[in-house]
Every structure is written in C-alpha cells, then in structure tokens.
C-alpha cells in the first residue's frame, strides 16, 4: 500500500519512516526544498535517536521517498496523513493556517477514493473543517473520508512509541457511508501492531481530537501536581520521591509523570494545555484544573530562579553554569524549555552564564527560541555579552559560582564531583532534576539544592 505524509517535521518524519519500516510505500512531502534535498540524502534535520538510521535504511530499500510535489504524494496514495504544524497564536489558540492550506492542495490533487488523516494536534472540529475545505476545492467529484489519528510520540523515544504504542486512536465520521472502509484501511496500516496486541480505540472524529488534548493536559496535570507537592515537601520536611512512589503504587494513580522538576516544557504540553483552555473558553466551559496546571507550571519556573537567588543573594557579577538546555534529554528541542526561562531571569539579574548541552550547541538558537530574549533588545545585547557556550560540563563549571542541572541527560548523572568542586569558585549545586543523592553531594562539600527533598 502507498501512503503520503504531508509535512516532514518531527511527527511527519517519524510517522513516515516508521510506516515504511512496517513495509508500506511512503512518500513524504515538504514545501521546504532544502530540507527535502537533504532528506533525500538521508540527513535528518533534527536530533531523534534512531531516526536517521531508519530513514536511511528505508530510503535504500526504496520504501521511503521525499518530494516537494503534492501530486506525487497524493496520486498513488490510499491514505494521506496531514502532519503539519499548528503553532500557537498570541491568544493560545492553535493556528490552523497550514492545515487549511494543505487541505486545499490535497483537494486539488484528489483523483479517487482516499482517506485524509490528521496526525497533527488539532482543535476539536478541525476534521469537519478539513472536510468542508476539501469538498469545496475538489477538482473532480471523488469520494473521500476524514480520519483523526492523533499521535502520542514523545520526543527522544518517538520510534519506540510509534512501534509499541499504548493505544491507537482512530476517529471517523459515523455518518459516512464508507466509514467502515476507512477504519479497515487504518487497521491495515497499523497491522504489525496487532501482533503485540495494541488496543485500538475507534470513535468519532471530535472525540479522537479531544483525546489528544485531554491526554497531554492530564500529563501536565500530573507534573504540576507533583511539583506543587514537592514545594510543600521542602517546607514540611518530607521527601517528594517517596511521596511519588507511595502514590504511584496505587494502580489508579500510576507511577509515571510524577517526577518533580523545573516545570514542563517542549512543543506539546505548554501549547496543548493553553489551546485546550482556549477551546473551552470559546464554549463557555470552565476548565479550572487545567487553568491551575498552566499557572502552577509558570510559577514553578520562577520558584527555581528564586531558589538560586535566595541561596546566593545578588547575582550581578556572579557566574552560573547551566548544564542542559533542551526541555528534556535525547532531543535538541528547546521550545518552551525551562532552561530558557532561567537564562532570561539570570540575564535580567546581569549574571554571567556558562552553558553546556550535549546536543543543543548554538547560542544563536537560544536567543531565537527564547522569544522573551529575542524581542527585548536589551536582553539580546546582554545575552551575547553574558552567555558563553562551553564544550563540556567541566569547562562550564570552571570559575563559576554555581552549577545548575536543568536537563537530566545521562552524561550529567555521574559527574566527577571532586573535579567539579575544585573548578567551581563557590560550591553551589542546584539539581533541578533530582538526579543526585543530597547526602553524597553534601559529603563532597557542595551546598546542594534540589526539588522537594531535604
Ligand atoms: C508529550 C507527550 O508525552 C506525548 O505523549 C505527546 O505525543 C507529545 O507531547 C505530543 O503532543 O506530541 P513530549 O513533549 O515529547 O511528549 O515530552 P514529555 O516526555 O511528555 O515531557 C514534557 C515535559 O515534562 C518535559 O519538559 C519533561 O522534563 C517534563 N516532565 C515529564 C516532568 O517534569 N516530570 C515528569 O514526570 C515527566
């Protein structure tokens, strides 16, 4: 079977490469000619473990092709996946411009029955909108079905998540005469997952669309909840890891996503929680829990900055070493990363910053991705003066007054403590991912601060 994937961003490329690995013939399309040119050579423009190998293998075996020509991606495909971005607008709602453009282009090239599947995270009702746009722009009268098939891929382990998902959600229009056919095609595409008994949830399109937002918002809820409990733990003398363990053993609660930290980041949880709030507001429905989750997350980032300030006093002229920029390990994505918030706060305090991340290697990227810095000419000027990019954790620590762990990359878990202690001018150690044992750090002469433990 042939399928087409529109959009070779993170979701599109992982989906395309994994479906090709399942044995399907996949054509991935992007407007960006430079990107397609380098993908044709097997070069993946972002960091995701295992993806480049998968792309190269399937390219070589002829199951994966790349193009900038919509007709090529649509012509022989029975299913066309839409995997373009839905960036946030100023008010938090999702911008559907790219989705709408793609719907028009698909319509103009539709030459027979096909299913049009949304993989992108889209507000409830987008499936109907796509159907309308496609119907209005059809060149020849052909039948098609709209399907919602949201993705649940985590950056850094996206291939594993695609190959061994907890569930596959398929939303189809219950009124469509060919709805059963659309479901059968989707099941066929995901056939290898039957062998590992993956649950399939078949529902209507709006429900499928909402499942995605509700899932991400619930994950964010767990994180904000445990972060607030961690803050309480510090005051009352409890250990948040034990609290999380004790809670998580209750099967109704579950142990995942109860790890405290400097706040959740990335391109999904922050964006999707806000988009869900916007959707609810438009329907006059109050989502007070999600609202509190978003506010708690903003506060958590500030609480981390305050921890540093409270411990060290005036930060002007002090040098802070930051280990980890990406919003989590195994990705080079720094969108909405808590590290960017901290960098901005330190810059406003006029502290000097030495950063190291195993994958994020460009200071330029920091300025660009951190809108708050990019839009503020004073901060922008300060950032080029005050931030130094270092080649490893030890170089970052050299001459710094404090070390801050912002991302739990594996290579930060076993740092040479004695060496670090000697390199630092003052022994402040802020472990905002709780990857060290407080007792051990104190024994090594550090003034150790973490999240929710004594
Ligand atoms: C998230 C969801 O987990 C995926 O299921 C979903 O498909 C994806 O969004 C998406 O919508 O595309 P992702 O953004 O890659 O995936 O990252 P997560 O692993 O969810 O982590 C998000 C943030 O929460 C990170 O900053 C991480 O450090 C933080 N986090 C996570 C915690 O602070 N504590 C935890 O216990 C777990």
Atom of ligand 1 nearest to the CA of 10: 12
One digit per residue, the tens of pLDDT, for the chain of length 454 reads 999 999 999 999 999 999 999 999 999 999 999 999 999 999 999 999 999 999 999 999 999 999 999 999 999 999 999 999 998 888 888 899 999 999 999 999 999 999 999 999 999 999 999 999 999 999 989 999 999 999 999 999 999 999 999 999 999 998 999 999 999 999 999 999 988 999 999 999 999 999 999 999 999 999 999 999 999 999 999 999 999 999 999 999 999 999 999 999 998 999 999 999 999 999 999 999 999 999 999 999 999 999 999 999 999 999 999 999 999 999 988 889 999 999 989 999 999 999 999 998 766 656 555 666 666 777 777 777 888 999 999 999 999 999 999 999 999 999 999 999 999 999 999 999 999 999 999 999 999 999 999 8
DSSP annotation of 25? E
243 in the same domain as 392: yes
Angle between helices 269-282 and 205-236 (to 10 degrees): 120
186 in the same domain as 306: no
CA distance 318 to 426: 10
Report which protein residue has its CA nearest ligand 1's atom 2.
154
What spacing in Å lies between the alpha carbon of 153 and ligand 1's midpoint?
9
The pTM is what? 0.95
Atom of ligand 1 nearest to the CA of 262: 33
State yes or no: is 268 an active-site residue: yes
- Helix count and strand count (H, E) for the chain: 20, 14
Q: CA angle at residue 416 from 412 to 419, to 5 degrees?
A: 125
Residue 371 domain-assigned (yes or no): yes
Residue 216 domain-assigned (yes or no): no
Atom of ligand 1 nearest to the CA of 338: 26
Residue 231 domain-assigned (yes or no): no
What CATH number has the domain bearing residue 18?
Answer: 3.40.50.720
Residue 77 domain-assigned (yes or no): yes
303 in the same domain as 187: no
- pLDDT tens digits for range 406-426: 999 999 999 999 999 999 999
265 in the same domain as 166: no
129 in the same domain as 19: yes
Ligand 1 binding site (Cβ under 6 Å of any ligand atom): 121, 151-155, 216, 219, 223, 257-259, 261, 264-266, 268-269, 327-328
- The active-site residue, picked from 18, 28, 233, 268, is 268
242 in the same domain as 105: no
Report which protein residue has its CA nearest ligand 1's atom 31.
257
Q: Which domain holds residue 436?
A: 238-449
176 in the same domain as 249: no
User: Are 258 and 247 contacting, i.e. CB atoms less than 8 angstroms apart?
Assistant: yes
What spacing in Å lies between the alpha carbon of 116 and ligand 1's midpoint?
27
What spacing in Å lies between the alpha carbon of 219 and ligand 1's midpoint?
8
272 in the same domain as 167: no
Q: What is the rounded end-to-end Cα distance, in angstroms, of the chain?
A: 57
* Domain end point (choices 198, 224, 257): 198
- pLDDT tens digits for range 364-419: 656 555 666 666 777 777 777 888 999 999 999 999 999 999 999 999 999 999 99
273 in the same domain as 181: no
Total domains present in the chain: 2
Residue 208 domain-assigned (yes or no): no
Residue 222 domain-assigned (yes or no): no
156, 208, 248, 264: residue to mutate for ligand 1 pocket, most atoms within 8 A of CB: 264
* Domain end point (choices 141, 172, 198): 198
Residue 415 domain-assigned (yes or no): yes
Residue 205 domain-assigned (yes or no): no
């Amino acid at each position: 079977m042939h399928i087409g994937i529109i959009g070779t961003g993170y979701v599109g490329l992982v989906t395309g490469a994994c479906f090709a690995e399942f044995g399907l013939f996949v054509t991935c399309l992007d407007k960006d000619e430079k990107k397609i040119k380098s993908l044709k050579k097997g070069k993946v423009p972002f960091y995701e473990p295992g993806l480049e190998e998968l792309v190269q293998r399937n390219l070589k075996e002829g199951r994966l092709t790349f193009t900038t020509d919509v007709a090529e991606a649509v012509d022989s495909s029975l299913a066309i996946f839409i995997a373009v971005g839905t960036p946030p607008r100023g008010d938090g709602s999702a911008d559907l411009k790219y989705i709408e453009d793609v719907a028009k282009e698909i319509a103009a090239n539709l030459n027979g029955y096909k299913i049009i599947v949304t993989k992108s995270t889209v507000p409830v009702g987008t499936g109907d909108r796509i159907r309308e746009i496609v119907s209005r722009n059809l060149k020849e009268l052909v039948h098609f079905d709209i399907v919602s098939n949201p993705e649940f891929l985590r950056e850094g382990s996206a291939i594993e998540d695609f190959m061994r998902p907890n569930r596959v959600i398929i939303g189809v229009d219950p009124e469509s005469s060919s709805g059963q056919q659309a479901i059968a095609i989707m099941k066929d595409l995901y056939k290898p997952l039957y062998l590992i008994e993956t649950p399939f949830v078949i529902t209507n399109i709006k429900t499928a669309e909402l499942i995605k937002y509700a899932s991400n918002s619930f994950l964010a809820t767990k994180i904000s909840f445990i972060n607030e409990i961690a803050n309480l733990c510090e005051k009352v003398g409890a250990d948040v890891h034990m609290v999380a363990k004790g809670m998580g053993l209750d099967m109704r609660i579950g142990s995942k996503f109860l790890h405290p930290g400097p706040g959740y980041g990335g391109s999904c949880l922050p964006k999707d929680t806000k988009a869900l709030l916007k959707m609810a507001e438009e329907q006059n429905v109050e989502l007070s829990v999600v609202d509190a989750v978003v506010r708690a997350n903003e506060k958590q980032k500030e609480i981390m900055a305050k921890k540093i300030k409270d411990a060290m006093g005036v930060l002007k002229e002090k040098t802070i070493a930051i280990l980890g920029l990406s919003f989590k390990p195994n990705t080079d994505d720094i969108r909405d990363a808590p590290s960017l918030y901290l960098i901005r706060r330190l810059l406003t305090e006029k502290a000097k910053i030495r950063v190291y991340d195993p994958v994020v290697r460009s200071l330029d990227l920091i300025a660009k991705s951190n809108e708050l810095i990019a839009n503020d000419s004073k901060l922008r000027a300060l950032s080029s003066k005050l931030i130094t990019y270092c080649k490893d954790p030890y170089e970052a620590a050299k001459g710094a007054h404090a070390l801050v762990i912002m991302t739990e990359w594996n290579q930060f878990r076993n740092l040479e403590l004695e060496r670090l202690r000697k390199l630092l001018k003052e022994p402040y150690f802020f472990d905002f991912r709780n990857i060290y044992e407080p007792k051990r750090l104190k024994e090594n002469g550090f003034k150790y601060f973490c999240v929710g433990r004594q």
